[in-house]
Each structure stands twice: as structure tokens, then as C-alpha cells.
Amino acid sequence: MHIVACHDCDLLNSFPADATETRLCVRCGCVLHQYRPNSIDRTLALALGALILFIVANSFPFLEMKNGGFIQQTTLLTGIHELWKQQLYGLSTLVFLTCILIPFLQMIGLLYLLLPLKLGRSVPGAITVLRLLRHLAPWGMLEIFLLGILVALVKLGHMATIVPGTSVFSFGILVFVMAAALTALDRPLLWERLDPRR
């Protein structure tokens, strides 16, 4: 048996450690346990896929605007640079953090944790990385950025012709791969494997 205190209402819940179904807190309904088979392999594969898509998404312009003779191309980084040039430092830093740095750290963090675990080695700082991943989770906002691209596409529709580039499609797939990678991660299992007291 496994005893877990609910993080939303503090009630002690117990269930078999190898439960294959989702377990909810009996008092407040908070999700306490989810069955994640083959978690390490799955997360590793998805995180690697996400990293490749992320590099592609940032290497190509994600929008292209044709207006008369002008062709204006934008990658995510030029957008952030443009905000910086307009002295909106805070805003540009925020977009850089939530759309580039934090998703990148999440992918690298997952790979750093899981690759050595898969190979049966131990790496320094694994516990710090796992803690960091938990705190970064709400701040990676790729999926919201993708919706932002769609809204901007429609908004500019009347001003110019907009051709979505390779990057938009990579972003589109990346959002799902990234979400799948973070969902496949079995945190309780990792905590058990990384426990320094063992």
C-alpha cells in the first residue's frame, strides 16, 4: 500500500502502489496517481522529438508577409529582438523566457534526467533538475504562442498576404509532442529511483 497526502486538501489517501488506474483524492477529487506505463522510454523519445522540432521551428521564419515589392520574414527571435528595440525590455524578456528558454530547459532537463537513468548511470544534480522541471511547468507557453500565431494570421489577413512557413508546422507538432512528453513523465517513479537515501 502507498500512502499519499493530497496536495489540495491534505487528506491521507492509500492505494496499492502498482495501481493501474487513475486515483483521485476521496475528499476533494484532486488527481493523486496516474498510471504511466513505460514512462522512461516514452518520455525520452518524446523529449528528443520535441528538441528536434524546436530547433526546426526556431530556424525558419514562421510568418512571411508580402506587400507590394516588400517581403517581410519573421522568426521567433526577430520578433523578440524587435520588441527589445522598442525599449519594451520586460515584455521581450518575458516572451523569450516563456517561448524559448523555458521550453528549451524543459527538453534538455528531461533528456539530462532520463538518458543516464536509461543507461543505468547517475548524474550530478538530477534531483535539482527534477525539482526545477516541476517549477518550470506552468511557465512554458508554446501552445499559447501557437494560438497567438493563428490570431495574428487572421488579424493581418487584410493588410498583406501571409504565407505560413515550415516553422509554423513544426510549432504545431511541437506543442503536442511537448505536452505528451511532460504527461508521460512518471514523477513518483523518478523520485523513487533518484532517492539519495537508498
Contact residues for another protein, defined by CB under 8 A: 3-5, 7-12, 27-30, 63, 65, 67-68, 70, 72, 74, 78-83, 86, 88, 90-92, 94-95, 98-99, 127-128, 130-131, 134-135, 138-139, 141, 144-145, 147-149, 151-152, 154-156, 158-160, 187-188, 191, 195-197
Residue located via cell numbers 507557453: 141
Residues 92, 107 contacting (CB under 8 angstroms)? no
| Sheet strand arrangement including 63-67 | 70-74, 63-67, 161-162
Nearer to another protein, 118 or 134 (CB): 134
Q: How far is the CB of 63 from another protein (least distance, A)?
A: 6
Q: Which residue has the cell 522598442?
A: 86
What is the closest distance, in whole angstroms, from the C-beta atom of residue 93 to another protein in the complex? 10
In the complex, minimum distance from the CB of residue 4 to another protein, in angstroms, rounded to a whole number: 7
Nearer to another protein, 68 or 120 (CB): 68
The least CB distance from residue 192 to another protein, in Å, is: 9
- Under 8 Å CB-to-CB from 171, ≥6 apart: which residues? 53, 57, 62, 142, 145, 146, 149
From the list 46, 78, 36, 106, the residue with the least C-alpha distance to 167 is 78
